[in-house]
């Protein structure tokens, strides 16, 4: 149950779902937190979401659904693991994530869709104190797993954190060890695509060397392909996608259509919906 003293947080039930989530989201976004009393990661995530609901001062409302008490609602949203969070806006699911994200990533998620109302503390004033480094996340999650080894959601969080610090081998080992139910988890699918891309760089030249090869021979498709992967994984997504599009435009059938496959894999790893949409359209214009 939620704390009744929290003005922007409420419990969601079958009775109030239509009114307080769907209808209410037409005017104010509703962040829906699926949780359970036995879920350890939920106990970490819940207070962070409540803190943000207070900070955002009514710019969104936080609705909490106990999946044990309201199994029909959980089934309606297709919940496969908890905690899972969905953002409902204008009566539709706009975005979501699974797992207990740290406060910095929660702020980043919200910033894509919700702006704090006047009177809410500025993000700059608090973010520096709360953003967790990838290395800190790995340490925190390893300690949490040692304390609760049966929490598979934490193991997925660890796999993601390991990928962020560049530990590809560790991330793959954690991901491969997860139960089969995670095969369709959106974060696990995304991580699998990232790992597949990272695997292409095993033994590959560094960024500078690949740039030199492409500058010397723009039709060196192998170098351009690896350059695209490096750029994509080193946080210059648009530049990486441009490399794959260049191959698609000039050598569509090179390496059994590798450029199209790279683009589709890249789209599966990116959070920027606007960027993905723009490059999907560019890819389609070259293919059709």
Closest by CA to 245, choosing from 280, 271, 220, is 280
**Token pair of 122 as six digits:** 């500025």
Residue 156's contacts (CB-CB under 8 Å, 6 or more residues apart) are 98, 99, 174, 175, 178, 182, 185, 187, 188, 191
Active-site annotation holds for 216 = no
Alpha-carbon gap, residue 173 to 171, rounded angstroms: 5
Q: What is the distance between the alpha carbons of residues 62 and 19, in angstroms, rounded to a whole number? A: 14
In which region does residue 280 sit, left (phi positive, over 0), alpha (psi from -120 to 50) or beta (all else)? Answer: alpha
Which residue in 21, 39, 188, 198 is the catalytic one?
A: 39
Answer yes or no: 258 catalytic. no
Q: What angle do CA 269, 33, 8 make, to 5 degrees?
A: 120
The enclosing H or E element of 61 equals strand 61-66
Interatomic CA distance for residues 210 and 213, integer angstroms: 5
Choice among 42, 154, 229, 265 that is catalytic: 42
The catalytic site residues sit at: 39, 42
């Amino acid at each position: 149950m939620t704390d009744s003293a929290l003005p922007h947080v409420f419990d969601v039930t079958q009775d109030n779902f239509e009114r307080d989530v769907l209808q209410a989201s037409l005017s104010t976004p509703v962040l829906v937190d699926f949780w359970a009393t036995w879920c350890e990661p939920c106990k970490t995530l819940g207070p962070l979401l409540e803190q943000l609901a207070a900070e955002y001062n009514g710019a969104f409302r936080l609705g909490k659904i106990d999946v044990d008490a309201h199994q029909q609602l959980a089934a309606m949203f297709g919940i496969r693991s908890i905690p899972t969070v969905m953002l409902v806006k204008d009566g539709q699911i706009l975005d979501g994530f699974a797992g207990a994200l740290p406060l910095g990533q929660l702020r980043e998620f919200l910033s894509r869709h919700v702006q704090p109302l006047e009177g809410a503390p500025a993000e700059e004033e608090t973010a520096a104190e709360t953003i967790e480094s990838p290395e800190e996340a790995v340490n925190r999650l390893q300690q949490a797993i040692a304390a609760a080894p049966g929490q598979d959601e934490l193991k997925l969080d660890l796999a993601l954190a390991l990928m962020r610090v560049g530990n590809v081998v560790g991330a793959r080992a954690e991901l491969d060890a997860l139960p089969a139910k995670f095969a369709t988890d959106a974060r696990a699918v995304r991580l699998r695509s990232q790992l597949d891309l990272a695997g292409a760089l095993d033994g590959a030249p560094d960024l500078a060397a690949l740039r030199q090869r492409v500058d010397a021979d723009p039709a060196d498709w192998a170098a351009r392909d690896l350059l695209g992967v490096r750029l994509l994984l080193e946080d210059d997504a648009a530049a990486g996608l441009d490399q794959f599009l260049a191959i698609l435009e000039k050598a569509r059938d090179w390496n059994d259509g590798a450029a199209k496959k790279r683009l589709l894999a890249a789209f599966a790893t990116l959070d920027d919906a606007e960027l993905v949409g723009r490059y999907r359209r560019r890819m389609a214009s070259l293919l059709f």
